[in-house]
Amino acid sequence: MSEKEKNHKITTASGIPVYNYEDSQTAGPRGPVLLQDYFLHEKLAHFNRERIPERVVHAKGSGAYGTFTVTHDITKYTRAKLFSEIGKQTRVFLRFSTVGGEKGSADSERDPRGFALKFYTEDGNWDLVGNNTPVFFIKDAKKFPDFIHTQKRDPYTNCKSATMVWDFWSLNPESLHQVMILMSDRGTPFSYRHMHGFGSHTFSFINKENERYFVKFHFKTQQGIKNFTDAEAAKMRGIDADHAQRDLVEAIDKGDFPRWDLKVQIMTGEQAANYKFNPFDVTKVWSQKEFPLIDVGVLELNENPDNYFAHVEQAAFAPAHVVDGISFSPDKMLQGRILGYPDAQRYRLGANYEQIPVNRCPFATSNYQRDGAMRIDGNGGSKPNYFPNSFDDNFADENYKQPAEPLQRDVYADWFDRNGENENDHYSQPGDLFRLMTPEEKANTISNIVGAMRSISGEKRDLIINRQLCHFFRADISLGLGVAQGLGVDVTQHATGMVHPN
């Protein structure tokens, strides 16, 4: 047998050569198909299972491999090995996505964009799972299913519903900061290459002295910010629903590698304890005047996956995956994601999803997890599947122990109002954001809001609109006036009748 014959024979999944690929085995030329044609069964059965469960959120995505290179020394803040020296490179995989749409939705929808990074470090894989915005709509993961339900389809009409969306937002003023970003032209990025990325949450750094710092991650695009207007985004949805995917693949294929500068904001524990608002509230940003951006390194995407499904669709990210020198914070939304994200991947891809090549740590792994569907790593062979044991020399390395976290005195377990005293200013930062905009950006944002809210319908339409207008007025008078006038609301009557929906 020649090498060519050996390598190119079509076989079944178990390696048995296939005699006839296109014709089913039948009883006579026109007779019924025989049950014994196993390859027919295998081919159809596999075809029926080609689609894995779609991600509940971030279903439509694009991704690429690349490198992260350290350009500045931050070792006084963190002992994480990927930041250990200037010039050090770490391989990465980055998946971009829209959030609310299905896998077949358009890339140019008005929606936040996911910005999920996997760093393949020698201490394991670090997943930094964020968005193209520094804030989010809610501050407690307990609200997440309800929020996402409003972004999906109405259970009665099976259509997207502006009424559901604005009803939820108007009842949850903590959403206003993210709503303002979404309703500006930043809600419709031109491409994945032309937007910033953020870790969004507050995380923590731990240095060699076991000192803890709180940190926010910012990825600033070197390509420059470029957005669609609302009209341009709508037009692109009809021209090319995969515009952002195509743009990313073509740019990398021709060597125009997209790059981002990684910068961090640092806050000490003492500063966090005494800050003017909860620094772990993901609906808020930290002032860059008080906590300036510190340069860290450069992220470059330079390799397109050779197969979309194998790499992009099967990529699995979880904020729970932090490496030595990087840890969590008391951010309630982050704490919920630590649980929720790995569980979502186990449902979607199976208990052994981290053995899929795109998710697999390229360095040694050792544990006592065994069995489960699609176990492909030898399952530990004949080694013990329990610890401690008398047969192997595995050990827990205490050098990776994190310092104890100080907690407040007299802290009680209870259900605390996420919007309690000193936690309920939902208007200052959205108002500041609007006042920072140029006149053109203000006009576009108001126009986008009016366009989105015009679709609110049903018997509660006026109630929902009035409630949301309350939030806009509290953020900025001119914003409220602009939206009210665009919706044809009598501002004089409205101003006396607005009641804050606590």
Task: Give the catalytic positions in this structure.
Answer: 58, 131
What span, in angstroms and rounded, lies between the C-alpha atoms of 317 and 131?
13
Main-chain dihedrals φ then ψ at residue 232, nearest 5 degrees: -65, -40
Nearest Cα residue to 81 out of 124, 114, 32: 124
Burial class (CB in 10 A: 0-12, 13-18, 19+), 133: buried
Kind plus residue range of the DSSP H or E element containing 197: strand 197-198
Two structure tokens written together for 132 = 């193209």
Q: Is 13 exposed, middle or buried (0-12, 13-18, 19+ CB in 10 A)?
A: exposed
| Whole-angstrom distance, CA of residue 319 vs CA of residue 126 | 8
Compute the half-sphere exposure of residue 435: CA atoms within 13 Å on the CB side of its CA: 10
Query: Which stretch of DSSP H or E encloses residue 360?
Result: none
Instruction: State how far the Cα of 95 lies from the Cα of 14, in Å rounded to an integer.
Output: 33
Structure tokens, 359: 């998710």
Distance CA 69, CA 222 (A): 15
Tally of CB atoms within 10 A around 15: 7
- Tokens representing residue 301 in the block: 């995407």
Q: How far apart are the first and last CA of the chain?
A: 78
Beta partners for residue 89, in sequence order: 69
Tell me the torsion sign for CA atoms 424, 426, 427, 433: positive
Cα distance between residue 239 and residue 283, in whole Å: 34
Neighbours of 491 (CB within 10 A): 12
Per DSSP, the three-state class of 107 is coil
Phi, psi of 63 (to 5 degrees): -155, 165
Run of H or E residues at 260:
strand 259-268
Please report, for residues 79, 208, 267, 270, 473, the alpha-carbon distance to residue 214 in angstroms, rounded to integers and kept in the order given: 14, 15, 5, 10, 33
